[in-house]
Amino acid sequence: MDLIQYGITSSEVEFLAKKERDSNLVWSISSEFTGDADQITITPASGKTFYLVGIKLYPVTNVAIGNITNNTESSRRTDIELTFNGTIKDVVTYNENANVSNLGGQSMGQLTGQLTGMAKGISMSGDGIKTVKLTSTNTSGTYRVSVLGYYEVS
């Protein structure tokens, strides 16, 4: 398999595979959500340091719906805040406006895909109380989020 097409090298895959074998790979994907709340919470144990590899936001498609008889506009959006012990480290924002016309009930501007955060490699030493969270705010529409990271013994 050509890993370059995914933007990774074999050494990255080998590193993550070793973390998985050692039970130190941390990954989670949320259920679909439509409101503002903590979507994923990670609480590193005392003696372990959590390192972030990345976060993603997945808009669930075909949920921006307007009134086709009135040619209205509908929108959906969300902000996903990545926090380390309550301090915001990154925010991923999704905003979609759909113009809905009565020409066959079609919606213009539907977007699909995944959005990624910029924060990578940041860390937090665990104490069994401090948390890493992905929290949705300003949410209208349906989404999922995911996180990938790993633990090192402190």
**Would you state the torsion angle of the CA atoms of residues 10, 15, 21, 26, taken in this order, to the nearest 10 degrees?**
-110
- pLDDT digit string, tens, across residues 7-49: 667 788 888 999 999 999 999 999 999 999 999 999 999 999 9
> What domains can you pick out in the chain, each with its CATH number?
24-153 (2.60.120)
Q: What is the mean pLDDT of residues 59-73?
A: 58
CA 134 to chain centre: 7
CA–CA distance, 137 with 79 (Å, rounded to integer): 5
pLDDT score at 154: 81
Q: Which long-range contacts (CB under 8 A, 24 or more apart) does 44-47 make?
A: 44/124, 44/125, 44/126, 44/127, 44/128, 44/130, 44/132, 44/151, 45/126, 45/128, 46/126, 46/127, 46/128, 47/126, 47/153, 47/154
CA–CA distance, 20 with 61 (Å, rounded to integer): 31
69 — phi, psi (to 5°)?
-80, -20
63, pLDDT greater than 60 = no
- pLDDT digit string, tens, across residues 84-97: 999 999 999 998 87
- pLDDT digit string, tens, across residues 107-138: 445 555 678 999 999 999 999 999 999 999 99
Which residue reads 């300003």 in tokens?
138
